[in-house]
Structure 1
Amino acid sequence: MTSYRYWTLAMALVRRDIRELGKSVMQAISVYLVVFILFRVARRALFSPLRKLPGPWYTNITGVVRKYYAWKHKEHIYYMKMFDEYGPLVRTGPDRVGVGEVGAFKKMMASHSLPKTSMYSDFAVVGENIFTTRSPELNRARRRQLGPSFTATAVRDMEVFVMEDGVRRLCALLDAQIDAAHKSQSQATIINVYFSLVMMSTDIISSLGFGKRFGAIDLLRTMVLGDSSVAANAGDKAAGEILLPADKIMQYTTQTMELMVKVAEMPALNRIPPHMMTAELRNLHKSRDLFMDFAEATVAKRREELANSDAGSNRSDILTQYIKAKDPFTGEMLTDKEIGSEATVLIAAGTDTTTNTLTHCIRLLLKYPETYKRLADDIRHQFKSPAEVSYEKARQSLPYLQAVIYETMRMRAATNGVWPRDAPPEGITIHGYYIPHGVTLCGSIGGVHMNCETWDEPTKFNPERFMGPEGARICPGRHLAMMSMTLTLAHLLLRYDFAALSQPDMHVNFYDEVDDQCRITTGHSHPERDCNVIIAKRL
């Protein structure tokens, strides 16, 4: 019994010592963590090369505020606020700097010495392509292969598809909506200009990039008019043709873009095994896979047509250009998978950017009636009927239309987010501040466009600024985008009169009054609420 008591007492003492040791270890770990955090904070605040950069005090120790805005798809708004308060070079995190000055921005975008960050690799859910690649060599090769598809000469041959599959079909739908409103004795025809334009842009880009329009305008006709006589899949299916309903294709493309955004925001999502994914994430991956299968099958079908000299070989669209594309230096051609990946970029870049620019343009014209009247008068003086309109005539005879488009792109860039680059190994000096390697430089298109050192009165909608030699400073964008926007606006303002639902507040500048969000491209947060206009026929 005595031995048992001693044993029990000894074990109790051991357990007490273990508990005390555990407490001491935890206290030591806690102290270590506190000291480590304080050391990092002190080092960032007192010794970081970025410590002298303008910016909020908290950016010395954390980027959590910026990350919050990014999670809400409002990061571009955060940067604009920072530029307004601190100037065109601002610290937004311990190792992150925002750039809103035109000279530095051009240097970032035009030089391979400042490489893309890992964010672009996270975007590559459909494979490496001209947008996601971080390799300068692959980027150069893709530009050599794909560049000829977007020259002025190549785009000129695509005008027929822009008109037949896009602009004319949109105008036919608008006519039908106006006629239906008149039959119901409605006093005004109200359309949602965003939804109309996104359907048109989808059909144009799908026609050029996939060889056949997806039938988005037909789907919209069914939705707004209940017209089931028009097939939602863009026509009867020819023998051997690969075709999916428009709503399915648009669902796949939209969810593929959503997957790109989610993975870029949280890269760990790309490493989750399929059996551990949430139902939502599995669905996004499934849509991505189905869309890529569709894209690759479409490419294979066109290859077969070209090999057999069938009708597809006579179609001068982007799909044919991609298949025939050859690197002039190496002779290398694109695989079906690579073309499918590039076509996905084309859908995202071509559809959203064109749609958002046109939507902003119409809203700006309605906010500024004098500009609207001048542009409409110019178009109606130059063209008496829609049959007279062509891109070449509009481009040459309507400089004010071109200026309005440029000014819209300046005020509301469709890619208004921030585009990150890694500082080079030797570092870089911007505006007298040394930025070391390991820092992420975030170029802001909106910051450049709204910088008063770049433009006088940057918040003012003033197309006249592009009517003189100053306009040469801004690249007009891809020929295809300009052709689509020029033809669309020329036809819409020739055929119809537009009016706002309510009188715009002239005391609020357009940049502040638009509620938008950035998901790769930048567009309206609530298009169903903010993009409704009154329309009436005039021809």
Structure 2
Amino acid sequence: MTSVPVFLAGALRELLQPLNILCGLVAYFCWKLIYALYFSPLRNVPGSIWPRITSLALFFYEVRGLEPEFIKFHNKKYGGIFVMTPSRVAICDPEDSQIILGTHAFLKDKRYSNIEIMEPNMFLTVDPELNKQRRRQMGPSMSVANLKLMEPAILEAGPKQLFNKWDRDIEQSADGLTARVSYYNDLMLMAFDIVGSLGFGQTHRSLTSGDTQIVKWVHSAFMLIFLQSVMPLVKTTLFRQFIVKSFYDKFDAFHTLCAKAVSKRKKLLSGLQPNENKPKDILQSYIDAEDPESRIRMTSSQVVAETVISLLAGSDTTSNTMVWTIHLLLMHPHYYSRVVEEVRAVFDRDHIISYSEAKTSLPFLEACIYESLRLVPVATKMPRFIPPGGATLHGHFIPEGYNCTVSITGVNTNPEVWERSYEFYPERFLDNKANRRIVLTFSAGVRVCPGKNLAWMEIQSTLANIFNRYNLEIPADSLFTPDRVDNNGLPILMPRKLVTTCMSKFPERDCVVLVTRRV
């Protein structure tokens, strides 16, 4: 009876000999290679060897926040479609992207379903029916007409608050004329205050008050979303209770704050008289939102979930877009001068420029924003499942059960699509609606970014007011200047990293500018 266990133990010791382990690994690698090259349904799709064999090739880029560099390298080498992992292809062609994004048939993949930090919401849900219902309920909330009712609050929390901060910094500077400011921090806090004011129903002034507690909670939520999307193991009890407990605790505090705001607003509404007006903000719009087909309204917990995701998606993305636009203009001083001249030719220094005024009067500024969105998109990818029956993309049939990723980075910088694709060249968007339509930074089709109109309202009005009221100059100790160029003669941009959005890798060092008042 003891001979069998003894035999198994001996066999196990033999198998675990270093030479046998090495032979097993070599055999496994050879099989993966042979399968990838001769049997895989993706064998005819362009791409390099390592992504065909293992997902680690992409994972190593993702965890370091360098996924855009992975995409650009392979896009330039292989074109509009290439293998990202053994079961995934990247799509960098605008026409294929429109096909994928134009229908709910290509469902959001498991990276979205991996994120379980709150109730399902319009952005993260993989359920097309829930997404459709939310868009019917919330669509009017984010219309330009409705947002214009909120513009006074946007300007108060946005440009006006920024003016107060920068004017104070100038007055407190050594010479009383020039302030050294971190525009990354200031724009991030400002964008948070705008969305926070609209979503919480109360005045938020973290930029001028210095209270950044809620902003820290928001960043913790972003980290959880990133970690859960690339490493689902984070959701296990061990990680939740010990390793990343602080992230979950901060998110819970943030979620509780949103829940209290909804409860407070509903209590206020119950006491309103018939002739009293309701507040005009996103929170109220969500509470009032109704599906015109089913007449269903969102529950309080659903309003909380949508408010949380709106605040998350609407703060970092908007502020980082403004940061990259300023950085790109400072790296191209002839374009910076042109924007400043355009703004100041129309508006007096102390005039607060509204979104409508900026949209109507400042076409070159708008072109520069589009070019920033194209060249350094703050969102970089949209992973999808291949639908039942498979799909033909860029001339290659991809079967059901595989995945594709619409690469915003790839589409926006594809050398086959864009002339001077890696160059900051805003003229490409002047009077060119076709080019504007294929910039995918706000997505497209059935799941286009619901906050697109609000983002544009914030970005255009804020940048217009900054360039109208202040002069910006690169500090002498900056590592990145227009004169520091790459092998192609283009200015070297500050390094970036990708968490949930593409941001400066060292914002405290690289997003600093000298500010003086316009004379």
TM-score, L = length of structure 2:
0.89
Give structure 1 stretches of 5+ with no counterpart: 1-10, 221-245
Change (3 A) 1:190 1:331: same
8 Å contact kept, 1:305–1:313: no
Q: Which residue of 2 aligns with 1:447?
A: 410
1:504 maps onto 2:482 in alignment: yes
1:264 to 229, 250, 254: 229
Match of 1:346, SS state, is: helix
Match of 2:497, SS state, is: strand
Match of 1:454, SS state, is: coil
After superposing the two structures, state which structure 1 stretch, 325-334 or 433-442, moved more.
433-442
Q: Which residue of 2 aligns with 1:65?
A: 57
Change (3 A) 1:511 1:318: farther
The correspondence of residues 19-418 of structure 1 with structure 2, limited to 5 A, is: 19-24=6-11, 38-181=30-173, 184-185=174-175, 188-220=178-210, 246-272=211-237, 277-278=241-242, 280-309=243-272, 313-387=277-351, 389-416=353-380, 418=381
Structure possessing the higher radius of gyration over alpha carbons: 1
Runs of at least 4 residues off by over 4 Å: 25-41, 310-313, 474-477, 509-512
Q: Which residue of 2 aligns with 1:484?
A: 458
8 Å contact kept, 1:116–1:422: yes
CA distance in 2, matches of 1:445, 1:512: 21
- The one-character-per-residue Cα deviations of 1:384-428 (angstroms, maximum 9, x if unpaired) are 133352222221111112111111111111112x22111112111
The correspondence of residues 459-478 of structure 1 with structure 2, limited to 5 A, is: 459-469=422-432, 470-474=434-438, 478=452
Counterpart residue type for residue 357 of structure 2: K
Counterpart residue type for residue 182 of structure 2: N
8 Å contact kept, 1:420–1:441: yes
Give structure 2 stretches of 5+ with no counterpart: 443-451
Change (3 A) 1:510 1:98: farther
2:499 to 509, 519, 534: 519
CA distance in 1, matches of 2:131, 2:305: 14
- The one-character-per-residue Cα deviations of 1:66-91 (angstroms, maximum 9, x if unpaired) are 11111112222212221122222111
Match of 1:314, SS state, is: coil
8 Å contact kept, 2:170–2:177: no
Match of 2:514, SS state, is: strand
> How many residues are treated as equivalent by the alignment?
496
Change (3 A) 1:97 1:388: closer
Counterpart residue type for residue 483 of structure 1: M
CA distance in 1, matches of 2:350, 2:308: 32
- The one-character-per-residue Cα deviations of 1:86-143 (angstroms, maximum 9, x if unpaired) are 2221112211111111111222222211111111012231221111100110010010
Change (3 A) 1:453 1:97: same
8 Å contact kept, 1:99–1:441: yes
Residue 28 of structure 1 deviates from its aligned partner by 7.1
CA distance in 2, matches of 1:462, 1:490: 19
8 Å contact kept, 1:214–1:249: no
Counterpart residue type for residue 371 of structure 2: E
Counterpart residue type for residue 524 of structure 1: S
8 Å contact kept, 2:97–2:406: yes
8 Å contact kept, 1:99–1:443: yes
Percent identity over the alignment? Answer: 29
Residue 41 of structure 1 deviates from its aligned partner by 4.3
CA distance in 2, matches of 1:387, 1:362: 21
Residue 202 of structure 1 deviates from its aligned partner by 0.8
8 Å contact kept, 2:325–2:369: yes
Counterpart residue type for residue 139 of structure 1: N
Match of 2:77, SS state, is: helix
2:394 to 422, 431, 444: 431
Residue 374 of structure 1 deviates from its aligned partner by 1.3
8 Å contact kept, 1:45–1:61: no
Counterpart residue type for residue 158 of structure 1: M
CA distance in 2, matches of 1:361, 1:191: 16
8 Å contact kept, 2:107–2:385: yes
CA distance in 1, matches of 2:34, 2:14: 22
Counterpart residue type for residue 197 of structure 1: L
Q: Which residue of 2 aligns with 1:4?
A: none
Counterpart residue type for residue 22 of structure 1: A
CA distance in 2, matches of 1:453, 1:511: 22
8 Å contact kept, 2:485–2:492: no
Change (3 A) 1:456 1:94: same
Counterpart residue type for residue 200 of structure 1: M
- The one-character-per-residue Cα deviations of 1:249-297 (angstroms, maximum 9, x if unpaired) are 22222212211111112112213268x732x412211112221111111
CA distance in 2, matches of 1:329, 1:337: 21
The correspondence of residues 11-22 of structure 1 with structure 2, limited to 5 A, is: 18-22=5-9
- The one-character-per-residue Cα deviations of 1:298-327 (angstroms, maximum 9, x if unpaired) are 001111112222799532110000000000
CA distance in 1, matches of 2:395, 2:460: 42
CA distance in 1, matches of 2:430, 2:190: 29
8 Å contact kept, 1:390–1:487: yes
CA distance in 1, matches of 2:197, 2:335: 33
Match of 1:458, SS state, is: coil
8 Å contact kept, 1:209–1:317: yes
8 Å contact kept, 1:428–1:435: yes
